[in-house]
Amino acid sequence: MSASIAEKTYQDLAELFGGAHSDDRQDTISQRLRKVRDLTLVRVAGPNYLVLACDSDGGIGPKPQDTVYTTGYWLGRVAARVPLMEVLASGATPLILVDALGVEMEPTGKEIIRGIRVEAAEAGLVDPAAITGSTEDNVPTVATGIGVTVIGVVQESHLRPGTSRVGDAIVAVGKPKSAPDDDVTEDDPEIADLPAVRSLLNLPYVRDILPVGSKGIAYEAGQMAQCCGLDVALVDECSLDIKKSAGPSTCVLASLPESMLEELAATVNKPVSLIGRLLPHV
């Protein structure tokens, strides 16, 4: 895309959000882009940002050469869950979901898409036009591959990354689980899901929220601290494996005043574990 086309695209996007401010027109495309953890943010007009998140799965599904077997429906659920969680946790509202399926439409792709649509509805994406994608209908496939991208929108004042404060506790909601070591199932009460994230978003004392991925709890706790210029002191008595992959974000981190831990545990219908405390950076 040439610079002029990119600029025109930006101006068109800005019009959707009330028009570009005069300061915006002086910025280059690269000046409007920023990375926040695994998210890409694009400033489109004044304080408004597009938020992009993506995730992929390979070798998991119903095909004969998949390493881990699961149904297409459940794969669609968890594949969509991760980027939807990441966008919601940032404070943004999901707008569009794009799926790239390395399988044929019938029958595998159809079942994956069914799962994606159910999961997207949990995040508020109920309009069929909000979900698009593509399948592989030219080359026969013997293993499953999928990528999902979610685009959301947020005002800068509502962005949650970097809102943690000195003295806050970091907790894990849910437990880290991942194939092939664990059987991650739809009815597992110990794993985080979109309703759990939305519940956290509605609690006024919860600050930053961060889904945990393949790098584990300890890594993501460090990212949460780094995002607000702080350090994290991990607790010694945590019963969770803080280096274990959380696969499809089976747990999420949240920062909050330590005095609110008991109330949080009584509010969310998931296991809550104290991970660490945020300290001034040294």
Question: For residue range 170-220, what is the model confidence (pLDDT) as tens digits?
Answer: 999 999 999 999 999 999 999 999 999 999 999 999 999 999 999 999 999
CATH superfamily of 169-280: PurM-like C-terminal domain (3.90.650.10)
pLDDT of 17 over the 70 cut = no
User: Which residues make up the CATH 3.30.1330.10 domain(s) of the chain?
Assistant: 3-158
Question: What is the number of other CB atoms lying within 10 angstroms of the CB of residue 20?
Answer: 19
**pLDDT classification of 7: cutoffs 50, 70, 90:** low
Rounded-to-integer distance, Cα 249 and Cα 79, Å: 10
Query: What three-state secondary structure class fits 95?
Result: strand
Q: pTM (2 decimals)?
A: 0.90
Rounded-to-integer distance, Cα 56 and Cα 79, Å: 7
For the domain made up of 3-158, give the CATH fold.
60s Ribosomal Protein L30; Chain: A; (3.30.1330)
Distances (CA, A) of 179 to 54, 74, 250: 19, 13, 11
pLDDT of 259 over the 70 cut = yes
Cite the DSSP H helix spans in 90-240.
110-122, 194-201, 216-227
User: Which residues make up the CATH 3.90.650.10 domain(s) of the chain?
Assistant: 169-280
pLDDT of 147 over the 70 cut = yes
Rounded-to-integer distance, Cα 109 and Cα 107, Å: 6
- Please give the pLDDT value at position 1: 45
Which residue matches tokens 């869950």? Answer: 81
Query: What three-state secondary structure class fits 172?
Result: strand
